[in-house]
Chain A
Amino acid sequence: MKGNGKLVLVFGIAFATGCTNLPRSRDLGNPNVAGITLAQQVCSNCHGVTGASVSPNIPNLAAQQPPYIAAQLKLFRSQGRRDPAGFEYMWGISRTLTDKQIDELATYYAAQTLPTQQPDSSVASIEAGKPIFNEGIADKQVPPCGSCHGPHGRGNGNFPRIGGQHADYIVKQLGVFQRTDQRPEGAVMKTVAHKLTPSDIAGVAAYLQAMPIE
């Protein structure tokens, strides 16, 4: 057998043996692929293997509240969440996920450890955000973030963990809540964020990113 024939043979063997590979599949249309496999083979490309993403374009998922992750994936799947982060990246990825896979993904990320994030904002900005998180802004009727998102921003059920989240992601999402109806499930945040100034948002986002993970 000469050169090119060998190439075809090698690829033919690879093809014959490569039809299904459930432990390391990237098939989003196969309900038999486990959630942890999808997390490692697909989601990890943006969110990191352990849910700690490198790019601030992409939210950290490590140590996130399982009900929140499951709810968001179902909203992406139903195209009920329509912010750019949703339709550009997540609608397609989630469109054929089963409820079982979604629950497995939520469990997987909740079990991961989120390392304390390096702050990339000024100390002054971080300090400006601290009282907003802890005490809110009384004269703007902005409640303290911690009242729903829990101490250290750990989250609580459908209220997501926000402690240790990328500041850029927080800023963009507060903008979505404030100016659009693209996240109807977060309507309560529209009221909360309504009177926040860009400076308030930058401060609280900087504080949340720098928050020690406990």
Chain B
Amino acid sequence: MCAPIPMWRFLSKAMAFVMLLSVLPQWAQALPAFARQTGQNCVACHAGGQFPELTPYGRMFKMTGYTIGRNVIPLSVMGVVSDSSVNNTSKSPDPRADFQKNNSLIFATGSVFAAGRLTDNIGMFLQWTYDNYGSQSADGKFHGHSNADNMDVRYADRFVSADHDFLYGVSVNNNPSVSDPWNTAAAWMQYVPVPSPTSSRFIDGATPYPGLAAGGNIAGITAYAFWDKLLYIEVGNYRTAKGALSPFSAGIAKDSKTKLQGNNPYGRIALCHEWGPHNAMVGATAMNAKVYDDPLDTSDARSVHRFRDVGIDAQYQYLLDPHSITLQLAYVRETHRYPYFLAGQPVQDVDGNPLPDTNAIDKTRTFRIKSSYIYDAKYGVSLAFFNLTGTTNSAAYDPTPTSGNISGSPAARGLTPEIFWMPVQYLRVGLQYTIYNKYNGAGHNYDGAGRNARDNNSLFFYLWAAY
């Protein structure tokens, strides 16, 4: 584990390093595994070189099972160095615990990928991630931890002629929508890794993203088809990752593993159109999931949380060198039915006054829209807006300073502007600032200890490299 170092000293060295890289020939072939397989630059598959958002060609590469190209050693590595800075750390009884590593440059996370074609029809994307701050012992010392991250192994075939174009495939994966080719999908819209220390709890990656309640590290099989680059349909089913598919949740602690009850269906439909330098998609996603309340005790079949997620999403891209413009929109409505022993329970506030009994059902609506512009696959700017609304529930009542919620509402709203720079295609340097207008249901005093939403505004610097 790396010890934090003063930010100014690191930045001066980092800037010298990236300046050196920026004068290297632009056709340097230092690329992650997929790029080595096709021999193409990242910009061929990623819009404006902005990993992981895919171009129309990148989507076809994925849908055809990562099989375009030649066989190479299918390995890549990725690492993220970051610095989070929370706007106001004064309203906390324990700033060292509430804002760990604040204003410190840290090596946050790294991944190893096994990714690429295996046969003419089969390819894989397997990610194993190391969290440098994965756990903390009683003495406050951090310890690294690694576990299975996104995993997708798929078979695909394509029948194409001047008259028709039909592509189909089967994916075995561990995260609903990780198989999706659009980056408005739940598994992909949030992509900058979120460091574990608590100073990163308010950065954009930790804000509400339209997602699927089942989460990752489960096991599913989906079948998909893409007709004439017009209609995409995917259906699948997810279960607990166990037996032969237990590697899909490898490294996850037993008490943190998602245990699903029975079959949990997933569906996706999208309509697409390409014209000139433009392409657009509108789509919908749905998933039902039954998640055991206690992963260590699945003996009671009624002890499950029942989630129903229904989402719509849309994406527009304008890709004409040297300009890349992207608009993304996603909205998910989630219904959460609690197990019997959590519903209708009495709750008291910190003064002993009774609050309404806990809900049997909660509903949330998560909306996000993001626009980005990248020039010459080097200089980028983006702006995102997020808004989460939902049922007020006494179960969410928590008077803990900083993280607490005295309204019982999950509502959050804010903006994230970002600038980023890719001096070379395998390195991205970004600076985000997340501005909160509402957090845990309120703009002011959301935790009952006087903390306001804007106190959580966070600056996040990251240096993201892959090879």
Taking the nearest CB of chain B, how far is it from the CB of A83, in angstroms?
A: 10
Q: Known interface pairs A21-B120, A28-B70, A91-B27. Does A49 touch B165 (Cβ–Cβ under 8 Å)?
A: yes
Contact check, B68 vs A89: say whether CB atoms are below 8 A apart: no
Q: Would you list which residues of chain A between 143 and 178 have a CB under 8 Å from chain B? A: 168, 172
Known: A21-B120, A21-B157. A96 touches B162 (CB 8 A): no
Interface-forming stretch among B88-96, B104-112, B271-279?
Answer: B271-279
Q: How far is the CB of B76 from chain A (nearest CB, A)?
A: 16
Any A CB within 8 A of the CB of B403: no
Inter-subunit contact B38/A92 (CB<8 Å): yes
Segment at the interface with B among A54-62, A132-140, A183-191, A200-208: A54-62
Q: How many residues of chain A get a CB closer than 8 Å to chain B's CBs?
A: 47
Residues on B with beta carbons closer than 8 Å to the beta carbon of A45? 56-57, 60-61, 68
Contact of A88 among B41, B60, B64, B172 (CB under 8 A): B41
B70 touches A96 (CB 8 A): yes
Q: Is B297 an interface residue (CB 8 A)?
A: no
Residue of B nearest to A120 (CB): B276
Chain A interface mostly: helix
Q: Is A115 among interface residues, defined by CB-CB distance under 8 A?
A: no
Given A46-B57, A49-B165, check contact A55 B157 (CB 8 Å): no
Question: Which chain B positions have C-beta within 8 A of A26?
Answer: 64, 67-69, 117, 120
- Alpha-carbon separation in the docked complex, A20 to B117 (Å): 12
Task: Give the interface segment out of A10-18, A64-72, A98-106.
Answer: A10-18
B270 at the interface (CB under 8 A from A): no
| Residues of B contacting A11 in the complex (Cβ-Cβ under 8 angstroms) | 153, 155, 170, 172
Give the distance in Å from the alpha carbon of A8 to the alpha carbon of B153 in the complex: 11
Contact among A10, A24, A42, A49 for B221, CB-based, below 8 A: A10
Q: Given A4-B245, A14-B170, A26-B68 in contact, is the A95-B39 Cβ separation under 8 Å?
A: yes
Counting residue pairs across A and B whose Cβ atoms lie within 8 Å, the total is: 140
Q: Are A18 and B122 in contact (CB under 8 A)?
A: yes
| B308 in the interface (beta carbon within 8 A) | no
Q: A55-B320, A57-B320 are in contact. Are A91 and B160 (CB under 8 A)?
A: no
B70: chain A residues within 8 A (beta carbon): 27-30, 96
Q: Does B348 contact A (CB under 8 A)?
A: no
Supposing A27-B67, A46-B57 touch, asked if A8 and B160 sit within 8 A by C-beta, the answer is no
Query: How many Å from the CB of A14 to the closest CB on chain B?
Result: 4
Task: Give chain B residues whose Cβ lies under 8 Å from the Cβ of A120.
Answer: 276
Contact A172 B321 (CB under 8 A): yes
CB-CB contacts below 8 Å: B59-82 with A: 60-61, 64, 67-71
Is the C-beta of A40 less than 8 angstroms from some C-beta in chain B? yes
| Pairwise interchain contact B277-A7, C-beta atoms closer than 8 A | no
Q: Please, how many residues of chain B have a CB less than 8 angstroms from a CB on the other chain?
A: 51
Give residues of chain B (244-282) contacting chain A, Cβ–Cβ below 8 Å: 244-245, 274-277
Q: Which of A2, A3, A8, A88 contacts B40 (CB 8 A)?
A: A88
Q: What residues of chain A lie closer than 8 Å to B71, measured between beta carbons? A: 27, 29
Q: Does B8 contact A (CB under 8 A)?
A: no
Q: Which residue of B lies closest to A91 (CB)?
A: B39
A42 vs B141: C-alpha distance when bound (angstroms):
51
Chain B residue nearest to A13 (CB atoms) is B155
Known A4-B245, A18-B155; contact A54-B120, beta-carbon cutoff 8 A: no
In the complex, what distance in Å separates the CA atom of A14 from the CA atom of B172? 12
In whole angstroms, how far apart are the Cα atoms of A22 and B274 in the complex? 29
For the complex formed, measure the closest distance between the CB of A85 and the CB atoms of chain B, giving whole angstroms: 8
Nearest-CB residue, chain A, relative to B159: A24
B156-175 contacts to A, CB under 8 A, are: 157-162, 165, 170, 172
Among A5, A87, A91, A93, the residue within 8 A (CB) of B243 is: A5
Closest to B67 in A: A26
B residues 129-167 touching A (CB-CB < 8 Å) = 153, 155, 157-162, 165
- A20 and B242 CA atoms in complex are apart in Å by 31
Distance to closest chain B CB from A190 (angstroms): 21
Verify if B219 is at the interface (C-beta below 8 Å from A): yes
Residue of A nearest to B44 (CB): A89
Contact A84 B57, CB 8 Å, known A7-B219, A54-B274: no
Interface residue B381 (Cβ < 8 Å from any Cβ of A):
no
**In whole Å, how far is A72's beta carbon from the nearest beta carbon of chain B?**
16
Query: Is A41 an interface position by the 8 A CB rule?
Result: yes
The CA of A29 and the CA of B161, in the complex, are separated in Å by 22
Q: Is B465 an interface residue (CB 8 A)?
A: no
CB < 8 Å: which of B121, B241, B245 contacts A18?
B121
Given A15-B122, A49-B162: A55 and B38 within 8 A (CB)?
Answer: no
27 A-B pairs within 8 Å (CB atoms) are namely: A4-B241, A4-B242, A7-B172, A10-B170, A10-B221, A14-B122, A14-B155, A15-B122, A18-B119, A18-B121, A20-B119, A20-B120, A24-B158, A24-B159, A27-B70, A28-B38, A30-B70, A41-B160, A44-B165, A49-B162, A55-B320, A56-B320, A57-B277, A87-B26, A89-B40, A89-B44, A95-B39
4 nearest A-B pairs in the assembled complex, by CB-CB distance = A92-B39, A29-B70, A18-B121, A87-B27
> B residues touching A (Cβ–Cβ < 8 Å)?
26-27, 35, 38-41, 43-44, 56-57, 60-61, 64, 67-71, 117-122, 153, 155, 157-162, 165, 170, 172, 219, 221, 239, 241-245, 274-277, 319-321
Name 15 extra pairs, CB < 8 A, besides A26-B117, A45-B60.
A3-B243, A4-B243, A18-B155, A28-B39, A29-B69, A41-B64, A45-B68, A49-B162, A49-B165, A55-B274, A55-B277, A87-B27, A87-B41, A88-B27, A89-B44
